[in-house]
Chain A
Amino acid sequence: MKEIATEDEVRAALLALGDDALEVLTLRAAGYRRLLPPEDVEDLVGETLQRVLDGCRKWPKDVPFMAFLLQTMRSIAWEYGKRNRREIPDSRIGSANDDDEESESFIEAQPAEGGDPADAVALFRFAEDVERMFGDDDDVMAVIIGRVEGLSAAETRERFEMTPQAFAAAQKRLWRGVVAGKLDGWR
């Protein structure tokens, strides 16, 4: 049975975060700017903090605290995305599976009214966009597929026969590619 941190332990872990971790958190939150409407991005950090502090999201102590925080943030971002999608009629959103040409022209054609369809769709397109961007890079795709399948880094390396160096290099390319602004979510 997994040991769950107490509320005091969560509070202590939050207050003990160093500058480097806080910078990562700041950047992470900013990364959602193009995936969610501005008000949701603004809420995201506050909601994450609230849920971990009040125990709505429980911290299994075998998970590193930062990983737990980022996981909580992803989960809330997904909830926001789903809510936004519900609030905008399907006819204004199109499908996340539409091909590029259709969806881009759709987004251009629809003015924001009661919510920006581009905001509602961006989150659902994120995985697709990343896959499109790194589709030719087997190692980066292995890092992504491993994570989607819930594998640890070691399991991913074993499954895809990657050396630790190749894995780290692939993570670096993934990170640089995303931050370089080639991906909507990080511009």
Chain B
Amino acid sequence: MNTSAPLDYRSAELTRKFIEQIRHITTQPWNIMEICGGQTHALLQYGIDQLLPPEITLIHGPGCPVCVTSLEAVETALQIAAQPGVIFTTFGDMLRVPGNHQDLFSTRANGADVRVVVSPMDAVGIAQAEPERQVVFFAIGFETTVPSIAASILHAKRNAIANFSILPANVLVPPAIHAILSSPENRVNGFLAAGHVCAVMGYWEYEPIAAQYHTPIVVTGFEPVDLARGIYQTVRQLEEGRCEVENAYSRAVTREGNCTAQALINQVFEPVDRQWRGIGLIPRSGLGLRETYRSFDALERFPVAAHTLVESPLCIAGQVLRGIATPHDCPAFGRECTPGSPLGAPMVSSEGACAAYYRYQRVKP
């Protein structure tokens, strides 16, 4: 093989080689969970789930931050966005996530100034350009996104941009894996760890988890070759009775991760308990602002009324997010619930499992 040519990570031939190897070594049924919603979409988009031997079941994890952002946080966002003088900034994915009766999109239609940004730094830029307005950024996302939010807050502090604040809703992966593996309903045998979370955090945090629950964890990328390789390494560990943390995405991930990014996170944020939509409270699974930076917390600036929370009685998003049901198990899937009129967050997000099934696999294979 010519190793000097640049590798095409979407190569069908190389993907097929790994799939053949998986077929070759698989002797019994295994359930493998991909944590990250981006991986869920790529797996379905490239049909990798259908190429695998029937013994291998992929279970879709809770790694879609839009999906797990609590209903309470969404309702709080809607209240803050509706206040006069506020510019509410958000990643585009959050616009259609249903609250009790409204979403950010309809709040904007009712006159609120809701703007989509691709980076929290853009929100800081808006705050700088419009000093008479309050600019709030909806801080969602896993460890991948947190350094950008931490750096934006530090930038705002350094430049005395006092009209910028965030609504903190960030979440962390390792506590979620603990919650899944310690649950009595758990059926996951091995994990694909989310490559870009690990690009920031490294994978040392996962070593005690793999040992404690005797579960292999393989850091995996997002292209078809990466995904097939990650699944192959997980199956090989399971078949050999090993439970280690392996890195199948070493071009972007090291064991230690990005130490500069981690230092920024630790400077600005501290672990807090957090509610996950569809899952419930997971201890120390979120990040809140440290005392020094708490003046950037939108909850300290804006009065928010207590709210009752109303989820759709039809939606089984919670079971989908916990990996105990697939979107096809939901009677509302593709009927009452579509990306055009979603009942639950996983049908909204470009990374939600329901949206992936709707887009790539509307009919049960």
A interacts with B = no
Residues of B within 8 A of A (CB): none
